[in-house]
Each structure stands twice: as structure tokens, then as C-alpha cells.
């Protein structure tokens, strides 16, 4: 039998409006917050107003007597029930893993930490009663600055650990045997450029705040949660609370965005789980926007000391990245691992013969950090692309020329970098040439010269970012080497219904990415069924117990292959049935254009999968050994990551009198291999770029000196709206991924990773004649203006 690549209906590669959007956009769906169960109680959480304090007393008498209140409890009240928050990525053998009780026991370590819970008949009653709880805090000194936290004698976030250092993780190409020695390169270098970059702290501002409903009254305890990771949540709830796994069912209904912020197993979920078991009643907890900003994990927050070495002719010889990464007060499920995801990317698309990365994770009295779109890779790409521009200035070269001289050429793949990754494919020149064509690079440079010559108060800057990234998280073997506790495989099940319709159960857990649509397109082509004949089921551990969920732009690169493989198994299973129906030998059949026929005989009788599905349903007359169903499962674990790449170009106008930055044009040419749904991909790139621009120009989480979050609402924490964003010009080149049956690479984070350095490089480029060689993010008008004033004062 021959199963060739199937594209009979040409669904793959076609713009398809997203199936799920009608219900998502109109809100006619079961968001967790919409769920109401009989007898359900509402929870409200009292949070610490202090960044560091001992709890010396809690008096909840008045709250307990308040109208509608059923229960008030604190950490010690549920010490046996609440379990401990897990971290599944201790990156070194000696990573410090402090105890992390969901509800504080006797000390709070960041503002917003949960201290007490009210369960009441309505949310309003629960919130009102919170105000009646008296907590005595004995303030303790706070440590917020990462370098201060690492200094001798620093205030300790966790006294019992004896240190604020969480870990130090090193990747050295000389030691690993993947490249030369950076120290030697630095000693011999003709040019050395060093820079410190600050990755400010960001808040993943998902549209739907987190919400959890727990029903303990059935055979299983059922939790609905607005999460990216229902499968991971189930196993960690089980391990964290000692509840048998088969007695827990987790459902992620439609989820209103996550951006990494819901790649978490949260104290609030554990608290709701404990409350439901304590009260033996269904409970609901939905956070307010302020709670989300204060206590859902934050992202980025690194100090990056970068050194690049080169020869005068522009050949780079070494890259070293020395990081301090803020963990916050506690560890989320993968907090220590976030910088490590970037560790392999500081060399980007360039041939650095020597490479060294060192990161120290540090505890401070702040909200914990964890994944935020790109997780480690935007930070790495930013530092690399910024310092490539600084090196170009040092060498008096055009920044694009420097990149061209050093990038991996298309005939050099597969290419193993000095960081130890093997990039499978790419064509950096092609993407860059296309971007330049769309951007009008030469004309913009000309205009820039003219504005500089006439000392125009509005200067033009041009920013370049040529990137690659490792996504498609998997492979399990590599994750294991990095001490990540779980695997990276993904699963898919295809159920052929008797009438030829198809149900797909995927282990991915979409929260805005449109998997129902893209998976339907893949299945339609693989099985020769209609796009509308496919139903995609996800996010319920009762329907699918096998899944690793959605993050790290992994769903298509890993889950998509599992799906293709499952479809192929369906076809293989149907082959003897079709042969029987066609009265042919199975060895003589082929499956093309969605139907079985005798090989090489177009126009002859055919049987579709629907014919076969009905025949097995009847099972009146099947050959011996043929099962009465065509269902198939597949689990896939790739050998390698997925490596999308591209070139983003940005032109900004900077008003040197006011500091205002306006993006004049933005071109992104991405290469994500073959595209399943161009419309979805454009949406992913748009959203991704918006978030990258947001880091460059708008967003920053700020704490005051006492550890209060002063950017805790959208008034102080500025997320850009559509009017703040430029018209984006998008295009793609297509270098198929060799290891993927459809040739596809991931796209979910690419826009975010590429865009931040493109924008900041443009801002710095505009101000370069003033002697400015860096502007700290976000480049707000105030910060740009202050930088200009400082430069003028120094001149």
C-alpha cells in the first residue's frame, strides 16, 4: 500500500476563517467565570499589602459573622489540605527550591501573596467580608534589586535557604566541546564590544483574568480553569496535594488568552481545590484585573552583560552573555528554566566560533516570574541584535552588511552552533532581501541623512532584527538533559464515526491560537473529508488524558505531527477494508485524493474512508482480523526543535524635543516553513509584534522602594491599543522544515522575539548622532527625552 502526502481538498495553505471565532468573539461560550453549579460558593482572597512581613496574628471573627459568609480560613487552617506549589524545572542539582505554600503560613514575601480566604454565598459577600479580617504584620526588610540581593549580608527572602541565589547555570562552548574559548577570543580580539542591557519586568496582560471552579461532589473532583495546561495541572494537583490522579478531572474550557501567563499551576487553583475539599461544596474563584496584575506571574526581568568579539573585517569571533534573572519571591512551575530557554539563542543566526552563557537566578521580594511570550528567547534575541548594531557602529559598517557577513548561509544547513543546537534549515538572505525590498531601505537611509544634515528636530531611525528561535518545545530527551521534570511529546487521537465524520482529540490546549481550524484543515487533507466534517476536542482530561498542552510554539510542530501520524494510521487501518470492498488485494491499493483505488488506475472504482467507516460499523462481512473501528492514536516526540526565522525592519521618527517615538513603517518577513492557515499565521505575527513593540515602547512593571507594585492597573501599565500600533507589512519566505511531514515550523512567538530589538535599534539609530548608544526599555517619551537631555549635558 502507498500512503502519499495527501492534499486532495487543498485545505492546508488556505485562508480559513477560524471555526471557533463565532463563539469566542460573541462571548457565547462557557468561559470558566460563566459556570454556576448548584450550591456553589464564591471565594475571595485577602492578599498581603506588605512585600515582606511576619504574620503575627489573624482575627477573622467579624468576617465569619458577616452576612452570607460560610467559612474563613488561613494557611494554617488548611495546612494538611493545600499542598505545596510545585516547580518542575530545577535547572541544576543544587537549585534552591523554597517551600511555597499556596496560602501563606507565617510569613509573606511579596505584595499580593494570599493570606486568608473567605467562602460566601455571593462574590459580593465574600469581597465585603475580606475587609473585616484583621491581620497583624511585623514588617521585615525587603530586597528588590537583583544585584543587592546577591551581595553579602543581603536581606534574605527565604531565611531558611541562607541565600538569595537560586542557581547558577553555565553553558561554555569550550567546556562542552561545541566551540572555542571565549576568554581566548577576547584576549586575541581586534574589537571587543561590551554592553549592559536591562530586560524590564512585564505583565502578561491576558484578556480573561484567571478563573477556577472546583466541584468535589462527583466521583472525580472536577476543576474548570482558565489555564494553558490542563494536563500538567492535573498531574501537579495530584502530586502536590496527594489526591489520586484518576480522582481529578481538569477542564480548560475556552480560555481568553494566556501568552505564557497561564502556563502555570497557581496558588489560587490550589486554594480553590483545598476549599472545595474542606467544604465539600463547589467553589468558584475569579480574580479581578488588579489581582491578575499583582499576583499572576510576571515575565522577563533580567540584567544582561553581553560581550561580543570580532575581527576588524567584521567577522565575529565570540559571544558571551552573563545574566542575572529575577525569580521573584517564589518559583513557578518553570521559573528557573526561562533564562535557560534563551541560553541557546544568544548566538542567533550567526557563526560565533566561541560562546559562553552564564545565568544566576535570584530571589527578591517581588511577584514570581515565569513564562511570557517567547520565554527567554526574546531576551536573548534582544541582547544579540542590539549588540550587533553596536558592533556595526564600532566597525563603521552597515548593520545589515555585518549580519550578512556572519550569518549561516542556506547551503550550510544542518548547522550546529557553538551553543550546541543543530539548526535544520533556513534561508536568511532570502528573507532579508524580501524585507529590504518591501521596506525601501536605501530611500529611508537617504532621508535619514537629509534629516541629520538639516538637524531636523524629528530624526529618523532604522532598526534591523534578523532572528531565529528554537520553538516546538519538545524534544523529551533534550528536556531531560536540561533537568526539566516532564517530557515534550504530544498526542492525537482520530475517531472515525460511522457516517464518515471525524472527531479529533488533541493533547494541545489552544487558548486563542485557532487549533480547531488548523487541525480540521490538516485532517481534511489527510483523510479526504470535508473541513466541516471534523470536530476538534481539547482541554478535558476525561476526553484526553494524554497531552502536554500549549506553549513554546509547540502545538503544530509537535501536536500537528502526532495528528498527521494518527491520520495515516487511520488510512492504514482502512486499507484492508477498502480492499475487501473493492475486491482487490490490499497491496495493489493506493490512497490518493481522499479515496482508495487500484494503483495507477485513475477513473476506476474508489472507496472513501466514509465507505470504510460504515463497513466497519456494520461489521457484517469483514475480513478476518479486521477491527470494528478505524480509530487511531499517535504520540510524537521530535528529535529536534523547530527553527523559524526572519527579518524585521522598523523605521521610527523620534521627536527630539518631546522624546516621542512614532513607528513610521514596519516590515516583517518570516519563514515558518509551510503554512497551514495563512490568516491564522498573520494573526499570530500581528499579535506577536504588538507584544514586542509593547516591550520596546510601552510596558514596564514598577515597584516602589517598599515593594508595592505601582503599575498595577492599565492606567500605569500601558498596553498599546490598535491606534498605538503601525500598519504592519507582512510577508513570508518558505523553507520547509525537513523533519516535519507538512514542512511546518512554529510561529506563535516569532513576532514577539523579532520585534523588540528592531524597534529599539531604530530608536537608538535615530539618536546616534547625539552620542546616544542606548535607551532603556520601554522607550517612553519621558525616558527618551531624559536620555537626550543627559546626552546634551554631557556633550
Binding site for ligand MCN (CB under 6 A): 257-260, 373, 511-515, 518, 550-557, 672-673, 675-677, 680-681, 684, 687, 744-749
Question: In angstroms, rounded to a whole number, what is the distance separating the alpha carbons of residues 216 and 241?
Answer: 14
Question: In angstroms, rounded to a whole number, what is the distance separating the alpha carbons of residues 225 and 284?
Answer: 10
C-beta of 661 vs 730, nearer to ligand MCN = 730
C-beta of 513 vs 787, nearer to ligand MCN = 513
Q: What is the DSSP letter of 588?
A: G
- CB-based contacts of 631, cutoff 8 Å, min separation 6: 493, 494, 495, 496, 570
Beta-carbon count within 10 A of 476 CB: 15
C-beta of 514 vs 528, nearer to ligand MCN = 514
**Given phi > 0 = left and psi -120 to 50 = alpha, else beta, which region is 348?**
left
Identify whether the C-beta of residue 212 lies closer than 8 Å to the C-beta of residue 384: no
C-beta of 48 vs 684, nearer to ligand MCN = 684
Question: CA dihedral in degrees (427, 429, 435, 439; nearest 10)?
Answer: 180
- For residue 335, what is its C-alpha cell? 521559573
Least distance in angstroms from the C-beta of 359 to ligand MCN: 21
C-beta of 513 vs 756, nearer to ligand MCN = 513
175-180: list long-range contacts, CB under 8 Å, 24+ apart.
176/420, 178/355, 178/416, 178/417, 178/418, 178/419, 178/420, 179/352, 179/353, 179/354, 179/355, 179/417, 179/418, 179/419, 180/317, 180/318, 180/353, 180/354, 180/418
Question: In angstroms, rounded to a whole number, what is the distance separating the alpha carbons of residues 224 and 30?
Answer: 10
Question: In angstroms, rounded to a whole number, what is the distance separating the alpha carbons of residues 777 and 598?
Answer: 64
C-beta of 511 vs 568, nearer to ligand MCN = 511
Question: In angstroms, rounded to a whole number, what is the distance separating the alpha carbons of residues 188 and 22?
Answer: 61
Least distance in angstroms from the C-beta of 742 to ligand MCN: 8
Question: In angstroms, rounded to a whole number, what is the distance separating the alpha carbons of residues 24 and 14?
Answer: 22
Identify whether the C-beta of residue 426 lies closer than 8 Å to the C-beta of residue 670: no
Least distance in angstroms from the C-beta of 750 to ligand MCN: 8
Beta-carbon count within 10 A of 492 CB: 30
Cα-based distances in Å from 47 to 86, 106, 121: 20, 13, 20
Least distance in angstroms from the C-beta of 333 to ligand MCN: 15
Angle between helices 377-395 and 750-767 in degrees, nearest 10: 30
Q: Which residue has the cell 518553570?
A: 334
Helix (H) or strand (E) holding 678: helix 678-693
Least distance in angstroms from the C-beta of 517 to ligand MCN: 7
Least distance in angstroms from the C-beta of 65 to ligand MCN: 42
Least distance in angstroms from the C-beta of 474 to ligand MCN: 11
C-beta of 158 vs 201, nearer to ligand MCN = 201
C-beta of 83 vs 260, nearer to ligand MCN = 260
Question: In angstroms, rounded to a whole number, what is the distance separating the alpha carbons of residues 403 and 12?
Answer: 34
Q: Which residue has the cell 565575529?
A: 316
Least distance in angstroms from the C-beta of 645 to ligand MCN: 12
Least distance in angstroms from the C-beta of 734 to ligand MCN: 9
- For residue 645, what is its C-alpha cell? 526565522
C-beta of 259 vs 439, nearer to ligand MCN = 259
Strands 248-251 and 221-225: parallel
Least distance in angstroms from the C-beta of 727 to ligand MCN: 20
C-beta of 524 vs 581, nearer to ligand MCN = 524
- CB-based contacts of 61, cutoff 8 Å, min separation 6: none
Identify whether the C-beta of residue 84 lies closer than 8 Å to the C-beta of residue 101: yes
C-beta of 575 vs 753, nearer to ligand MCN = 753
C-beta of 535 vs 653, nearer to ligand MCN = 535
C-beta of 320 vs 642, nearer to ligand MCN = 642
Least distance in angstroms from the C-beta of 13 to ligand MCN: 9
Question: In angstroms, rounded to a whole number, what is the distance separating the alpha carbons of residues 598 and 579?
Answer: 9
Question: In angstroms, rounded to a whole number, what is the distance separating the alpha carbons of residues 706 and 534?
Answer: 55
C-beta of 302 vs 550, nearer to ligand MCN = 550
Least distance in angstroms from the C-beta of 746 to ligand MCN: 4
Least distance in angstroms from the C-beta of 112 to ligand MCN: 22
Least distance in angstroms from the C-beta of 531 to ligand MCN: 14
Least distance in angstroms from the C-beta of 698 to ligand MCN: 18
Least distance in angstroms from the C-beta of 644 to ligand MCN: 8
Phi, psi of 601 (to 5 degrees): -130, 70
Question: In angstroms, rounded to a whole number, what is the distance separating the alpha carbons of residues 313 and 316?
Answer: 9
Question: In angstroms, rounded to a whole number, what is the distance separating the alpha carbons of residues 352 and 364?
Answer: 34
C-beta of 78 vs 675, nearer to ligand MCN = 675
C-beta of 98 vs 720, nearer to ligand MCN = 720
Amino acid at each position: 500500500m502507498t500512503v502519499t502526502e495527501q492534499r486532495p481538498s487543498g485545505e492546508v495553505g488556505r485562508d480559513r476563517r477560524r471555526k471557533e471565532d463565532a463563539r469566542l468573539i460573541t462571548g457565547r461560550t462557557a468561559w470558566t467565570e460563566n459556570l454556576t453549579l448548584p450550591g456553589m460558593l464564591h471565594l475571595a482572597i485577602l492578599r498581603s499589602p506588605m512585600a515582606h512581613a511576619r504574620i503575627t496574628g489573624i482575627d477573622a471573627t467579624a468576617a465569619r459573622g458577616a452576612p452570607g459568609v460560610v467559612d474563613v480560613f488561613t494557611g494554617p487552617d488548611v495546612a494538611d489540605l493545600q499542598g505545596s506549589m510545585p516547580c518542575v524545572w530545577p535547572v541544576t542539582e543544587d537549585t534552591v527550591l523554597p517551600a511555597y505554600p499556596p496560602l501563606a503560613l507565617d510569613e509573606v514575601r511579596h505584595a499580593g501573596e494570599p493570606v486568608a480566604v473567605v467562602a460566601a454565598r455571593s462574590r459580593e459577600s465574600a469581597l465585603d467580608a475580606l475587609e473585616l479580617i484583621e491581620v497583624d504584620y511585623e514588617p521585615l526588610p525587603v530586597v528588590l534589586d537583583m544585584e543587592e540581593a546577591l551581595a553579602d549580608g543581603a536581606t534574605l527572602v527565604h531565611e531558611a535557604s541562607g541565600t538569595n541565589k537560586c542557581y547558577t547555570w553555565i553553558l561554555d562552548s569550550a567546556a562542552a566541546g561545541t566551540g572555542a574559548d571565549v576568554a581566548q577570543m577576547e584576549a586575541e580580539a581586534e574589537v571587543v564590544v561590551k554592553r549592559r542591557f536591562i530586560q524590564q519586568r512585564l505583565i502578561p496582560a491576558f484578556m480573561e483574568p484567571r478563573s477556577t471552579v472546583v466541584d468535589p461532589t462527583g466521583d472525580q473532583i472536577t476543576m474548570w480553569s482558565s489555564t494553558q495546561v490542563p494536563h500538567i495541572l492535573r498531574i501537579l494537583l495530584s502530586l502536590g496535594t496527594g489526591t489520586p490522579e484518576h480522582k481529578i478531572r481538569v477542564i480548560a474550557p475556552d480560555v481568553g488568552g494566556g501568552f505564557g501567563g497561564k502556563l502555570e499551576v497557581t496558588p489560587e487553583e490550589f486554594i480553590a481545590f483545598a476549599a472545595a475539599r474542606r467544604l465539600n461544596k463547589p467553589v468558584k474563584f475569579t480574580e479581578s484585573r488588579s489581582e491578575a496584575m499583582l499576583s499572576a506571574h510576571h515575565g522577563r526581568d533580567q540584567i544582561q552583560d553581553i560581550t561580543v568579539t570580532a575581527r576588524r573585517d567584521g567577522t565575529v569571533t565570540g559571544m558571551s552573555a552573563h545574566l542575572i534573572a529575577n525569580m521573584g519571591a517564589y518559583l513557578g512551575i518553570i521559573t528557573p528554566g526561562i533564562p535557560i530557554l534563551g541560553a541557546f539563542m544568544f548566538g542567533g543566526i550567526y557563526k560565533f566560533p566561541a560562546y559562553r552563557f552564564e545565568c544566576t537566578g535570584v530571589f527578591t521580594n517581588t511577584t514570581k516570574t515565569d513564562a511570557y511570550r517567547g520565554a527567554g528567547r526574546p531576551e536573548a534575541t534582544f541582547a544579540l541584535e542590539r549588540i550587533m548594531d553596536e558592533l556595526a557602529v564600532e566597525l563603521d559598517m552597515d548593520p545589515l552588511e555585518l549580519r550578512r557577513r556572519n550569518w549561516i548561509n542556506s547551503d550550510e544547513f544542518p548547522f550546529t552552533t557553538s551553543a550546541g543546537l543543530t539548526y535544520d534549515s533556513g534561508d536568511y538572505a532570502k528573507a532579508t532581501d524580501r524585507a529590504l525590498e518591501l521596506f525601501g531601505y536605501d530611500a529611508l537611509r537617504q532621508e535619514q541623512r537629509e534629516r541629520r544634515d538639516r538637524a531636523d528636530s524629528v530624526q529618523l531611525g532604522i532598526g534591523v532584527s534578523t532572528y531565529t528561535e528554537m520553538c516546538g518545545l519538545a524534544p523529551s530527551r533534550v528536556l531531560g538533559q536540561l533537568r526539566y521534570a516532564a517530557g515534550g511529546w504530544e498526542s492525537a487521537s482520530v475517531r472515525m464515526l460511522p457516517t464518515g465524520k471525524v472527531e479529533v482529540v488533541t493533547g494541545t490546549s489552544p487558548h486563542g491560537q485557532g487549533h480547531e481550524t488548523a487541525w480540521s484543515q490538516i485532517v481534511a487533507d489527510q483523510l479526504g473529508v470535508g473541513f466541516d466534517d471534523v470536530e476538534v476536542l481539547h482541554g478535558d482530561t476525561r476526553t484526553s488524558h494524554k497531552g502536554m498542552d500549549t506553549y513554546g510554539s509547540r502545538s503544530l510542530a509537535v501536536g500537528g505531527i502526532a495528528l498527521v501520524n494518527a491520520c495515516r494510521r487511520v488510512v492504514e487501518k482502512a486499507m484492508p477494508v477498502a480492499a475487501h470492498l473493492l475486491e482487490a488485494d490490499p497491496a495493489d491499493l493506493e490512497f490518493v485524493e481522499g479515496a482508495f483505488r487500484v494503483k495507477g488506475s485513475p477513473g476506476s472504482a474508489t472507496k472513501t474512508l466514509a465507505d470504510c467507516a460504515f463497513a466497519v460499523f456494520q461489521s457484517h462481512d469483514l475480513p478476518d482480523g479486521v477491527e470494528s473501528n478505524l480509530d487511531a492514536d499517535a504520540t510524537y516526540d521530535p528529535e529536534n526543535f523547530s527553527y523559524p526565522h526572519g527579518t524585521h525592519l522598523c523605521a521610527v521618527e523620534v521627536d527630539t524635543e518631546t522624546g516621542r517615538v512614532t513607528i513610521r513603517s514596519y516590515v516583517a518577513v518570516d519563514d515558518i516553513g509551510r503554512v497551514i492557515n495563512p490568516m491564522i499565521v498573520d494573526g499570530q505575527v500581528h499579535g506577536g509584534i504588538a507584544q514586542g513593540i509593547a516591550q520596546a515602547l510601552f510596558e514596564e512593571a514598577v515597584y516602589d522602594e517598599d515593594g508595592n507594585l505601582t503599575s498595577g492597573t492599565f492606567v500605569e501599565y500601558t498596553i498599546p491599543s490598535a491606534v498605538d500600533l503601525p500598519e504592519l507589512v507582512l510577508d513570508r519566505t518558505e523553507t520547509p522544515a525537513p523533519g516535519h511531514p507538512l514542512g511546518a515550523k512554529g510561529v506563535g512567538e516569532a513576532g514577539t522575539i523579532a520585534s523588540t530589538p528592531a524597534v529599539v535599534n531604530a530608536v537608538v539609530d535615530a539618536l546616534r548622532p547625539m552620542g546616544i548608544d542606548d535607551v532603556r526599555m520601554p522607550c517612553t517619551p519621558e525616558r527618551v527625552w531624559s536620555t537626550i537631555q543627559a546626552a546634551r549635558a554631557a556633550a
